[in-house]
Every structure is written in C-alpha cells, then in structure tokens.
Structure 1
Amino acid sequence: MAKTSSVEKNNRRRKMVKQYAGKRARLKAIIQSKTAPIEERFAAQLKLAEMPRNSAKTRIRNRCEVTGRPRAYYRKLKMSRLALREMSNQGLIPGMVKSSW
C-alpha cells in the first residue's frame, strides 16, 4: 500500500489539471498559431509559464486504484499487476482465471 500522502497529492494534481485544462488549451492554441502576432504569442507563453506546475497533465502519475502502487500499472484496468493477480486469484475479475502449467 502506497503512502496516503502520495495518493492524495496525485488526486490534487488530477483536480488541478481539470480546473486549468480550458485555460491551458486556449494559451497553447495562441502560442502555436502562426497567424497571431509574435508579441501576443510571447505574452501567452509568459502566462502559461506563470500557471501552477501541477496543472500540467504530464505531472499526473498513473497509480493503482486499489493499492496506490505507482509501478507495473495496467492502463486498461487501472490497477497494478499485484492487485490484478490477487483479485483474479480470488475470482473477483470476470473472465480471468488462474493459469498454471
């Protein structure tokens, strides 16, 4: 089980990304626009740099929904390999059976 502070920090980042998503998208559109004047593009770049770092989507860490483990994460199932194995052995995941040979 991961530290609850790490899990909560990641949850705060997710919330902040959602909060600033529209503003970031508008500023990035201005920056990438070739038709906008260079001064306007530079001003947008400065505003983007002033925004909180944790409002960037790349700062979010994929963590297991069950244990909070940050590594060995399956995106499709939103859980780590250890939690997946444990739950499948208990028969909690439909269609998944224990493999042995």
Structure 2
Amino acid sequence: MAKKSKVVRYERQNKLIAKYAVRRKQLKAQGDYLALSKLPKDSSPVRLRNRDSFDGRPRGYMRKFGMSRLNFRKYALLGQIPGLHKASW
C-alpha cells in the first residue's frame, strides 16, 4: 500500500491535468511556449506516474487493467476480472 499522501497527490494531479487540458492544447497549437511554461508544472500529463487504482502502488502497473501486477494476479485468481481465467495444460 502506498502512502496516503502519494495517493492524494496523484488524485490532485489528475484533476489539474483535466482542468488545464484544453488550455495546454490551445497554447501548443499557437506555439506560445512562454505562456505554456507559466502553467502549473503538475498540469503536464507527462509528469503523471500511473498508480494502481486499488492501493496506489506505482511499480508493476498494467495499463490495460489499471492495476499493479500483484492485484492483477490476486483478482484474476479469484475470477473477478471479466474474460480472464488461469491457464492450465
């Protein structure tokens, strides 16, 4: 489990990215990089680190499922991820 402060920061950063998305797109289209640099740093989507939606773990993130490898394995074995089942041969 990640620290609560990291999870809260991740959520706050997501809100900032959504808030400034249109403005960033307009400024990039105009080529106004001076005004773009004056926007908050955390409004840049490049700075966002993907985190597990259940416990906030930043490493081993599986983009397709939105969770870390540990939670993916746990929920896949329990049969709680639709369309997945354990391979056996």
Q: Indicate whether the TM-score tops 0.5.
A: yes
Gaps of 5+ in 1: 32-43
Q: Percent identity?
A: 45
Q: Give the 3-state SS of the residue equivalent to 2:18 in structure 1.
A: helix
The answer to whether the aligner puts 1:51 opposite 2:25 as a matched pair is: no
The answer to whether the aligner puts 1:96 opposite 2:84 as a matched pair is: yes
The equivalent of 1:39 in structure 2 is: none
1:31-50 deviations in Å (ceiling 9; x for gaps): 1xxxxxxxxxxxx2211111
Distance (Å, rounded) in 1 between the aligned partners of 2:29 and 2:18: 17
* AA aligned opposite 1:45: Y
Distance (Å, rounded) in 1 between the aligned partners of 2:28 and 2:81: 41
* AA aligned opposite 1:52: P
The answer to whether the aligner puts 1:25 opposite 2:25 as a matched pair is: yes
Q: Give the 3-state SS of the residue equivalent to 1:25 in structure 2.
A: helix
The equivalent of 1:87 in structure 2 is: 75
The equivalent of 2:15 in structure 1 is: 15
Distance (Å, rounded) in 2 between the aligned partners of 1:95 and 1:54: 36
The equivalent of 1:2 in structure 2 is: 2
Q: 1:75 aligns with which of 58, 63, 78?
A: 63
* AA aligned opposite 1:9: R
Distance (Å, rounded) in 2 between the aligned partners of 1:2 and 1:100: 33
State the TM-score, normalizing by the size of structure 2: 0.89
Give the deviation of 1:100 after TM superposition: 5.6
